[in-house]
Amino acid sequence: MMERPSETAAIKKAIRKARLNCRRLGVSSVPSSGSAGMGAVAGGIGLLVYGALVEAKRLVCERRTLPLPGWPQRLDGLRIGHISDLHLRDEYSLELAVRAAQAVAQEAPHVVAITGDFVGYWKEESPWLIEQALSPLVKVGVPILAVPGNHDQAKGDDGVSRLAPHWRAQFALPEHGPPGVEETCYTLVYQGVRIVALDSNRQIEAQTRWLTEVLQANTARWVICTFHHPIFSTAKARDNAALRAA
């Protein structure tokens, strides 16, 4: 078990955020008591604190049923849990991540796909944060399929981004992907369904060739692919045409 890092007081952090947002809004000081502006500024700070403490912790678990023509009857009711973009940084984000994992675990999924951005940025506490966040899923013994996101990279001394150290510290995944992405690009068969995990951060061309070979040799009727970046997006800056073309 890794050593627990020092805790961050959520309320102090919320107040700091509120003050920072007030400065961004041009509020440099609080008017004197009794002035008309006092209630407005106090109300504004209250709303900002509410947003940081309440809305930031709001959790919604969506359930989707997919009618698939030709889906094997023996697999009716197969439940796949999905979690993404936890962006773990501190105790504040860890609390929400644990709640998300607990909510998914309560749905009794047969398998869980976690599609990247486990951390907000790499730091020494990252392995501990991930270990704690995923503990509700580990306790129930559900298989976890993981792929990295762009935030799961860390720059080396040479300035090149590589998979951050927390990956191998947390996951033992198949290592038969292309060289350089062996443990982030892999495939396996679960209950007769082939699952392909891709690393959408690096070596796209090599993975395209690898995926072509995997699909040519595939005998499973159903194939599920999982990766971090969306192929289509309503946000122009996030529409991955290059990934789509690959």
Mean pLDDT by 10 residues, the chain (246 residues): 47 52 45 45 50 60 87 89 91 90 93 91 86 93 91 81 76 86 90 92 92 94 90 75 76
The alpha-helical segments, DSSP class H, found in 86-150 are: 91-106, 126-140
Backbone angles phi, psi at 63, to 5 degrees: -120, 125
CB-CB contact of 81 with 142 (8 Å)? yes
Smallest CA-to-CA distance from 115 within 235, 204, 233, 201 is with: 201
pLDDT (0 to 100) of residue 50: 44
Do residues 127 and 169 touch, judged by C-beta distance below 8 A?
Answer: yes
The strand ranges marked E within 33-84 are 80-83
> Which pLDDT does position 125 carry in this prediction?
85
14 contacts 21 by C-beta, under 8 angstroms: no
pLDDT of residue 217: 95
Which pLDDT does position 69 carry in this prediction?
Answer: 86
Q: Is 158 exposed, middle or buried (0-12, 13-18, 19+ CB in 10 A)?
A: exposed
Q: Which two tokens stand for residue 203?
A: 């070596």
Q: What is the pLDDT of residue 41?
A: 52
Phi/psi of residue 149, each to 5°?
Answer: -110, 180
pTM exceeds 0.75, yes or no: no
What's the pLDDT score for residue 9? 53
